[in-house]
Amino acid sequence: MERAIVIAESFIKRGFSLLVLVAAVALCSGCSDETAEPQQTAEQRSVVRETANRERIWLDLHDGTDPSVWLASREAGRDLDEHDPAVVRADAILDGASPHFMETQRMIANRAVQLSAMLAAIHVRETPTELVQRIDSIQTKVGGKGYFGDLCQHYFNIRSQGIGAEAAVATLTGKAGGVQ
């Protein structure tokens, strides 16, 4: 009987240690977009910066490119300078959306480009700047600060069912959860 108690105590201690380990791993694996990207060498970052804005698929964490210049250049199919009217428009769109979301403008731009590509794969054409405006309109109606990436996924799921853009916005306006 005494041996059984010792064995039980040993399992309890191991179980508790395992629980602490799992909790520590969960805490260390946080949700920040700033650490989710793979580390790159200086040479890899250099190659990324030398790629034309219109051809780049992502702005990485250490990238100094203005998200507005990148978005407008991608949409125009050519590199634009910061004074181009399309860049000024993209900048106004990102500036308007930024206060409503937890992500940085860089991540909002990245997610909008991703969503545009996902929609194009199912034959739905929407530009990244149109998508920033649509997703922002949802969060604005809901109120508070939300997660742009989450709303992008919900929007894609609804659009992939053949539902139009305005109906998707109307549907999400009732479902979007903001952080107050």
Asked whether residue 23 is domain-assigned, the answer is no
Based on the structure, what is the number of domains in the chain?
Answer: 1
The label of the residue with tokens 């109606």 reads 141
For 43-93, what is each residue's pLDDT tens digit?
444 344 456 666 678 899 888 899 999 999 999 999 999 999 999 999 999
Closest CA to 73 of 30, 61, 62, 59: 59
d(CA 84, CA 107): 22
- Domain around 132: 40-175
Judge whether 99 lies within some domain. Answer: yes
> Model-level pTM?
0.69
pLDDT 10s digits, 127-139: 999 999 999 999 9
- DSSP H helical ranges for the chain: 2-28, 42-50, 67-76, 85-97, 105-121, 128-142, 148-159, 165-175
Residue 70 lies in a domain: yes
